[in-house]
Amino acid sequence: MEAIALQTYAKLESYYWWWVGRRAVIASLMAKHFAGRTDLQILDWGCGPGGNFPVLAQYGSVLGVDASPEALRFCREAGHSNVRPAGTVAEFLAAYPERNFDLITVFDVVEHIEGDVQFLRELQQLLKPGGRLLITVPAYQFLWSELDVAVSHVRRYTRGRITRALRSAGYDVQRASYFISIMAPLIIAFRLLGRLTGRSQKKQFSFVEFPPFINRAFINTIKLEAKILKWLNLPCGTSLIVLSKKP
């Protein structure tokens, strides 16, 4: 991610509907599947500026890993000192060979990696037997836009595609759901309009800054979905969240 995009990302994580909403979804699945646990060893791979640490830290000790020194600097400035640099699993293992984690989280990272199945397979080396992998990825290739290009995405996913990748990598898939479902028609219309106007052909890290009351309404909409996700998978949406297990 370009430095300017990372600086914007760090700011947006604190208030913008997409990041706050995604955290609500992550928190919901954590509460559902790890209730009562405070002893987990958690690895947040591709932690970025560290916005998800407070949610994860409720369940145990969190180690953040990112290839970007700038991202790790943002983490430390926010008070998250337990972070390490690594760009590949092999690089991480060379530095920390004894690490075994109960949970690895990979939030909106897999779509950046050309060999996604190989990467997911390599992550198993860092998991204890029976350990879990919790990931999020963007959905639907037809929603490809200038933002995907700007942040170096390789692909977007359907539920079928990401679950096939995980199974090919040797995981047992336990949950796979779309989210950002209620707002999906709005987002799809916005992306298609961008194509018609030519905006989606321009490489740029951009976002629409909404008035605070609209931003809050969007957050509340995704928080409603997060409550539903405790019990049911959603059939469509512009992002996916998947919980898998190492046999």
Model pLDDT, residue 2? 54
Residue 3 has pLDDT above 70, yes or no: no
CB atoms within 10 A of CB 75: 23
Q: Tens digit of pLDDT for each residue in 53-64?
A: 999 999 999 999
Q: How far is CA 194 from CA 8, 48, 198, 211, 238, in A?
A: 21, 28, 6, 21, 16
Reduced to 3 states (helix: H, G, I; strand: E, B; else coil), residue 197 is: helix
Specify which residues 132 forms β-bridges with: 103, 245
Question: Do β-strands 239-245 and 60-66 pair in parallel, antiparallel, or remain unpaired?
Answer: unpaired
Evaluate if residue 196 carries a pLDDT over 80.
no
Side chain identity, residue 74: F
pLDDT at 225: 98
Strand order of the β-sheet with 127-138 is 83-85, 60-66, 40-45, 101-107, 127-138, 239-245, 172-179
pLDDT the model gives residue 97: 83
Beta bridge partners of 84: 65
**pLDDT at 199 (0 to 100):** 57
Higher-scoring residue by pLDDT: 69, 105: 105
Stretch 65-92: mean pLDDT: 93
Which tens digits make up the pLDDT trace of 126-178? 999 999 999 999 999 999 888 888 788 999 999 999 999 999 999 999 999 99
Backbone angles phi, psi at 178, to 5 degrees: -75, 160
Instruction: Report the share of the chain in percent with pLDDT over 70.
Output: 93
> Is pLDDT of 106 > 60?
yes
Q: Give the model confidence (pLDDT) of 4-50 as tens digits.
A: 567 777 888 999 999 999 999 999 999 999 999 999 999 999 999 99
The answer to whether residue 201 scores a pLDDT higher than 60 is no
pLDDT of residue 76: 92
